Amino acid sequence: MVLLQFSIGAVNDLHDAPRDAGKPGKPIASGELTALVAMAIAGLAAAVGVLLAAAVGVPVGLALIVLGIGYGYDLALKGTVLSWLPFAVGIPILPVYGWLVGGGTLPPAFVVILPVAFLAGAVLSIANADADAERDAAAGLDSLAIRLGPIVAPLVVLGGQCLVGGIAVASLLLGEGLGVGALTTPGGLFAVAGAALVPIAGAASVARGTRRVGAAARERAWRIEATGDALLAAAWLATAAGAGWFGG
């Protein structure tokens, strides 16, 4: 997966090199790295990544889907109103990819995990685009955050984060009824609910509904949300594992 992401990142920088001229930290645009070397990195990383996936039991088709989603964002969807879609589709693939390496068949719990991962990916992408809304608009780019506007976009993100956290907590309460595992412990519920409050707090800090919050504040809020969603995922999965969601 690391190699596949290297390839996707290299293609992204290749595609954006003309627009990145003068930006610090952009090795192709600055001339520190030639386009030919970057293309070689992209091709080699993709090839070795696919071969390693096959070697550890991940279907080659899944590895190719990962590359397709990344390249699709790099070459076509970035800077459009559909730029959120690759993140919404790509993030749920990460736990699937990891589980297939270590566990083989996906457990029933993924019926709950995958839709929530899709929602979280979409919400984080909109929040990220909202932080860059002015810069994107000035560069002639588009995004769902721009289309939604400075008041509605933060509210959509806040609603999405509340929904993600609510589903995580509710799933642990209803695990037995859903057929994915037993009722979890109060301590586990407390940990998941506490973690869920972090991204909600980040989203709430900019979703005031009356005026545009500055770009720097929106960037900080997005970082808080991304970190909080990672904490929520870790707490949720650990608690679900303790409740028998993933078998023995």
Q: What is the pLDDT of residues 147-160, one digit of tens each?
A: 999 999 999 999 99
Give the per-residue pLDDT at 89.
95
Burial code of 170-205, b = ≥16 C-beta within 10 A, e = fewer? ebbeebeebebbeebeeebbebbbebbebbbebbbb
Give the span between the Cα atoms of 194 and 114, in whole angstroms: 21
205 occurs within a structural domain: yes
Predicted structure pTM score: 0.86
221 occurs within a structural domain: yes
Give the per-residue pLDDT at 179.
59
98 occurs within a structural domain: no
Give the per-residue pLDDT at 86.
95
54 occurs within a structural domain: yes
Give the per-residue pLDDT at 177.
58
Average pLDDT along the chain, 248 residues, taken 10 residues at a time? 95 88 77 92 98 90 95 94 95 87 79 92 95 88 94 95 94 70 74 96 85 84 96 91 76
71 occurs within a structural domain: yes
Tally of domains in the chain = 2
234 occurs within a structural domain: yes
Please identify, among 36, 62, 78, the residue that sits at the C-terminal boundary of a domain.
78
Give the span between the Cα atoms of 71 and 87, in whole angstroms: 12
Give the per-residue pLDDT at 100.
83
Residues 246 and 133 in one domain: yes
Give the per-residue pLDDT at 248.
56
Residues 68 and 185 in one domain: no
Computed from CA positions of residues 17, 20, 21, 22, in that sequence, does the dihedral angle turn out positive or negative? negative
Computed from CA positions of residues 168, 170, 176, 177, in that sequence, does the dihedral angle turn out positive or negative? negative
Residues 163 and 220 in one domain: yes
Type of residue at 105: T
CATH of the domain at 148: 1.20.120
Residues 46 and 116 in one domain: no
Residues 15 and 57 in one domain: yes
Quote the radius of gyration of the chain (alpha carbons, Å): 20
Question: What residue numbers bound the domain in which 140 lies?
Answer: 107-248
Give the span between the Cα atoms of 132 and 150, in whole angstroms: 11
Give the per-residue pLDDT at 210.
57
Give the per-residue pLDDT at 32.
87
Residues 72 and 141 in one domain: no
Residues 148 and 218 in one domain: yes
Residues 17 and 114 in one domain: no
The tokens of 187 are what? 């301590």
95 occurs within a structural domain: no
Please identify, among 59, 78, 97, the residue that sits at the C-terminal boundary of a domain.
78
Residues 58 and 143 in one domain: no
Give the per-residue pLDDT at 103.
66
Give the per-residue pLDDT at 4.
96
91 occurs within a structural domain: no
Residues 131 and 223 in one domain: yes
Residues 69 and 120 in one domain: no
Residues 117 and 239 in one domain: yes
